[in-house]
Amino acid sequence: MALRNKNNRINKTNPQKEDFYQKVFKIVAEIPHGKVTTYGEIAQAIGLKSSARMVGWALNSTIGDDSLPCHRVINRTGELTGKRHFKTPTLMRELLENEGIEFIGEAVNLKKHLWKPSLD
């Protein structure tokens, strides 16, 4: 997957950043249907526990590319902080609810739906 900026132009990145992004994409692709994970869980699986924000940046590089289930990545409290990057403000929640994911108010029921990734 090529890394693209907001204007859909391919970004020229350094190899370390590209490697990090590819690890993020690999984990996101493995999130099971009906489960979610957090930016922090992905960062921890990669071995960079304090890099949750960088996971978000990696996912932002995929805007407009529906090949990854980015809707399954949420913040640590279960809120849909990435929803503004979808075509409509409600699409992220709709996609999750269509997979049977339950909400408590505005947050995903993490006790029931949290998936903890590992990087093999």
Reported pTM: 0.83
The answer to whether the CB of 71 falls within 8 A of the CB of 13 is no
Classify residue 85 as exposed, middle or buried by CB count within 10 Å of its CB (0-12, 13-18, 19+): middle
Q: What is the mean pLDDT of the chain?
A: 88
Is 50 exceeded by the pLDDT of residue 1? no
- All domains in the chain, ordered by first residue: 15-113 (1.10.10.10)
Query: Residue 118: what pLDDT?
Result: 82
Instruction: Point out the catalytic residue in the list 70, 80, 96, 108.
Output: 70
Q: What is the C-alpha to C-alpha distance for residues 6 and 66, in angstroms, rounded to an integer? A: 15
pLDDT tens digits, residue range 36-79? 999 999 999 999 888 999 999 999 998 878 899 999 999 999 99
Q: How high is the pLDDT of residue 50?
A: 86
33 is catalytic: no
**Helices (H), ranges, the chain:** 15-30, 39-46, 52-60, 91-98, 110-113
